[in-house]
Structures are given as structure tokens and as C-alpha cells.
Amino acid sequence: MNLLNLRKQAKQQFKELGIDTEDADFIIAETLNVPRTELPLINELTPKQTKQILKHINERKNKKPVSKIFKRAYFYGLKFKINNKVLSPRQDSEILIETALKYIKQNKIKSVLDLCTGSGCLAIAIKKNADVMLQAADISQAALRLAKTNAKLNDVEIKFVKSNMLTKIKNKFNLIVSNPPYIPTHEINLLEDEVKKFDPILALDGGKTGLDFYKIINDTAIKNLTPDGMLILEIGNEQKDDVINMFSNFKFVECVPDYGGLNRVLVFKLNKTET
């Protein structure tokens, strides 16, 4: 089949379905294993290539995200393996990395825990860019297996622990980062198909109000923080005030918006004098 025709056809179909038309070129380039810039240089596809590309285009038309089609994702300039047991890393979360790296440098932070690590993307991006001791925890054994593979793939040393929130975490850290599940249960059905059909419910469901995991962190994180310890948490855009009000055991430092201008990251420090 002629590649130009296939590209045009796929883009038109994606447009009609409200899918980003850029995904067509991404899918074709990934399938052919060539940089996107080389696509205009290719004229004819072999029947096998055509079949593979059409299979992936159809998967995308059924709302499967490209990260789940190709079982890989890019986050903070790094490559990660992805499967249906973990949340696909979100670009929105890159601001959490920027924020963590800022405080690590500023406060000479030496130890970090990534709670609810999933694919390991936050832990690995931090470890890759800072000289810190890193531990990462998740309740899902399948997620931890993938996170370990991703740590190896990115050549970083991280200790992974299976733990229901902080229950199995022994050490104290200068910083805990976390992107916990934070979607209110009743809103999960309203999410776009890409998320509700292909990301695991365990990574999304934050309980009735979406705030269950923040409450656990406020109630328990003290035992795993050094006296000058900090928390850097991802939140949903509308959760800023509720989470700040809930964090009675901590001093609020700042709210950092993501690149789309939405409230995305909250920074707290242990308010030792008032505890």
C-alpha cells in the first residue's frame, strides 16, 4: 500500500473520532521503527507492514492509547516499558519531577521515597537526575515487576518494596513524593475511554471523595520522614484546597501548576514545632 494514502486515511479517521491526528504518524513510525521525519521518504509499504500498521490504527480507533499499543512510553526524556497493570506516565507529572529536583538541590536532600510508584517513572526520573538514595513502593506486585525492569532499562539503582502505602516502609526519608490514585469513585465512569478502559482501576480510584490516599499520607508519613522531611504530591486540579486543609500534620509550602496551568503539585514540609 502507498504510505501517503494510508497516512491521509488514518488522519481523516482519527479526526472524525476526535483522536489526535499526530498519533497516526507516531503509530506508523513506531511500527516501521523509523524516525517520524523519515516518513515522507517512504513510498510503498510491504503487505506485512501495511497489515501491522492497520492493526495498530484500529487499536487506536478503539481508544487504546499509543503507550498501551506499543507497550512503551516516554517520560522526562526517558523510555519506559508499559503494560495494562500500570498507569501510562503522564506529561502532566513532569512538573512533579521539576519540583522535586528543585528541592533536592536547594535542601541538599539525600533520600527519597516514591510512594505508589506504578511504572517507576517518577522514581527513575528523579534518580537519573539527582544523587540520592531512592526507594519506591507499590501495593501491586505486577507494577513493581515492571518498575524493576524499567530501572534496569534506565540503568539506575532503586530499592522496590511491596507495601500497602507506608505499612512496610522502615526507613526515614528527607523527601516522599507520590502520585496516588485520586479520582473519586463515581467519576471513573466519566473518564475518557483511553483512561477508564486501559489504565488499571487500582491506579485511579481514590475512594468516595478521591482523597483517601492523601488522608493516609497525612496520618502516617511522619514515621517515615526525617525531622526536616518534605512531601511533594501530585493532585487533581480541583483538589488543592481540600488537600491543603486536610494536611494538618504538615506546613503547606507551595502549589505548582502544570504546563497547562492546572493545579498539579503540592509541596509540604514537616511542621515539627507544631506536632
Instruction: Between 28 and 203, name the residue whose CB sits nearer to ligand SAM.
Output: 203
**Can you tell me which residue has the cell 502532566?**
92
CB of 231 to ligand SAM, least distance (A): 14
In the list 203, 211, 225, 235, the residue contacting ligand SAM (rule: CB under 6 A) is 203
Which residue's Cβ lies closest to ligand SAM?
118
CB of 40 to ligand SAM, least distance (A): 34
CB 139 within 8 A of CB 160: no
CB of 167 to ligand SAM, least distance (A): 8
Interaction of residue 94 with ligand SAM, rule CB under 6 A: no
Interaction of residue 212 with ligand SAM, rule CB under 6 A: no
CB 163 within 8 A of CB 147: no
Instruction: Between 19 and 217, name the residue whose CB sits nearer to ligand SAM.
Output: 217
- Quickly list DSSP for the chain: -BHHHHHHHHHHHHHHHT--THHHHHHHHHHHTS-GGGGGG--B--HHHHHHHHHHHHHHHTT--HHHHHTEEEETTEEEE--TTSPPP-GGGHHHHHHHHHHHHHTT--EEEEES-TTSHHHHHHHHHS--EEEEEES-HHHHHHHHHHHHHTT---EEEE-STTTT--S-EEEEEE----B-GGGGGGS-HHHHTTS-GGGTB--SSS-HHHHHHHHHGGGGEEEEEEEEEE--GGGHHHHHHH-TTEEEEEEEE-TTS-EEEEEEEE-GGG-
CB of 113 to ligand SAM, least distance (A): 11
Interaction of residue 118 with ligand SAM, rule CB under 6 A: yes
Tell me the C-alpha distance between 129 and 69, whole Å.
28
In the list 135, 150, 179, 249, the residue contacting ligand SAM (rule: CB under 6 A) is 179
Instruction: Between 87 and 231, name the residue whose CB sits nearer to ligand SAM.
Output: 87
In the list 181, 210, 229, 236, the residue contacting ligand SAM (rule: CB under 6 A) is 181
CB of 146 to ligand SAM, least distance (A): 10
Interaction of residue 87 with ligand SAM, rule CB under 6 A: yes
CB of 148 to ligand SAM, least distance (A): 13
Window contacting ligand SAM (CB under 6 A); options: 22-30, 111-119, 150-158, 187-195: 111-119
Task: List the interface residues with ligand SAM, window 141-170 (CB under 6 A).
Answer: 143, 164-165
Q: Which residues bind ligand SAM (CB under 6 A)?
A: 86-87, 89, 93, 116-119, 121-122, 138-140, 143, 164-165, 179-181, 202-203
